[in-house]
Each structure stands twice: as C-alpha cells, then as structure tokens.
A and B are shown apart, each in its own frame.
Chain A
Amino acid sequence: SYELTQPPSVSVSPGQTARITCSGDALPKKYVYWYQQKSGQAPVRVIYEDSKRPSGIPERFSGSSSGTKATLTISGAQVEDEADYYCYSTDNIGSFGGGTKLTVL
C-alpha cells in the first residue's frame, strides 16, 4: 500500500466551493475514489475512477486528478454536505487517505 495525504479539515460557507485534496506519489498511475461519511453512517461513494459520479450523487460533486494530486470539488456546498471525506486508491493493496472533515457553516 502507499500513503495518501489529505488535509484534516476544510471549512466553507454555504454556497461556496469546497475543494478537498488527496496527494500520493503513485496517483499518476492509479484511479482515485472518494467516499463521504456522515456521523454514525456507513460511507457513501461520491466519485469513482477520478471523476465519475455514481448514480444519485448530486452534480455539485466532481473529481479531478493531475500528477500526484487528486481533488474532490463540491460546487455550491450545502449544509447537508458536512461530513468526513476519504480518498482511496489501490495498487492491488487498497489505501485510504486520513480523511478530511468538511464543515459548511
């Protein structure tokens, strides 16, 4: 496995754009996935294969990846988007980032 680094916290006001980064040396060659986890709930996948959005995930969620950094962008963040977000990648052995707590207030 390899290390994925995320900022511990990001804070935005409602309607602003939130950007959460995920850095890792192997990312140029591997897909990145993003999961949202609200308190007391199981994680929910919000982005897969760098930039694809699963069915049912709002369009304000988008993903990108360039070089050793991937970014989850929430355009027009809502109060209900407040959660922990984790990036994930794999080289046959999976690895999660440490998580980023998004505050929207």
Chain B
Amino acid sequence: QVQLVQSGPEVKKPGASVKVSCKTSGYTFIDYYMHWVRQVPGQGLEWMGWINPNSGGTKYAQNFQGRVTMTRDTSVSTAYMELSSLTSGDKAVYYCARAGERRGSPGDYWGQGSLVTVSS
C-alpha cells in the first residue's frame, strides 16, 4: 500500500532553515510528482510547490520563491522540502502529497504532516 511518512516535529529559531522529509513506499517513486502544502494553525491550505522526482525539476509558489528548495533522493524514495529564513509566520504543519492522475494536483495520498515551530 502507498505510504508517505514525514519527519517529526521541529523547533527552529528565527532566521534558521528547516528540512522536512517525506519517505515513500508502495509505489514507484519517480512516477509521480510530489506536492508540498502547508497549513498555518487556524488557517487554510497553502500550496507551496512540486517536484518531479524523475528529473528533479521543480515549480514553486511565488510566495515561497527564493526561500524554498524541494529535492529528492531516488535511492531512498524520499522527497525533501527545505525552507530558509524562517519567521514566526512560518509556524505551520507541512504536508507532502503525491500527485494524482494529473501531475498538477495533490492526489489521494498525503503524509501525516510535520509541525514546524519557529521560536526564539
């Protein structure tokens, strides 16, 4: 069965970076784009971008351009999302989600979410 297992909660200081991992199993990793979505506590879903695990190509939301880097390691079927220059506004749950039938949208398989807290 398809599984996406994300890394645990993180506490970071303002200005630092955080790297969240999303380890996949149950399917061929390079066959599906991976999306990243975040949710600030009490707010809605925010699309961050996607990575093509086959080529490593990426597309980022304008709000995160210059601060987000999505990468992957095909040898361990894992996608990563790194966010830099953290502020208190980046406190959120970050989700990875495998693309569905069309690469441009999150599909039926999501990670459990990773809580990132930013605090001095």
Query: Chain A residues in contact with chain B, CB under 8 A?
Result: 1, 31, 33, 35, 37, 42-45, 48-49, 54, 84, 86, 88, 90, 92-99
Contact = CB atoms under 8 A, between A and B. Distances in A.
B101 A88 contact: no
| Chain A residues touching B, majority SS | strand
Interface of B: 35, 37, 44-47, 49-50, 59, 61-62, 95, 97, 100-102, 104-108, 110-113
B61 A43 contact: no
26 contacts: A1-B47, A1-B62, A33-B106, A42-B95, A42-B110, A42-B112, A43-B106, A44-B108, A44-B110, A45-B107, A45-B108, A48-B100, A49-B101, A49-B102, A86-B45, A90-B104, A92-B59, A93-B47, A93-B62, A94-B35, A94-B49, A94-B104, A95-B47, A96-B47, A97-B44, A99-B45
Contact of A96 (B46, B110, B111): B46
B110 A43 contact: yes
| Chain B residues touching A, majority SS | strand
Contact of B45 (A37, A54, A92): A37
Contacts of B95: 42-43
A42 B113 contact: yes
Contacts of B107: 45, 48
A54 B108 contact: yes
A49 B45 CA distance: 19
Given A42-B110, A43-B110, A99 B44 contact: yes
A40 B7 CA distance: 17
Contacts of B45: 35, 37, 43, 86, 88, 96, 99
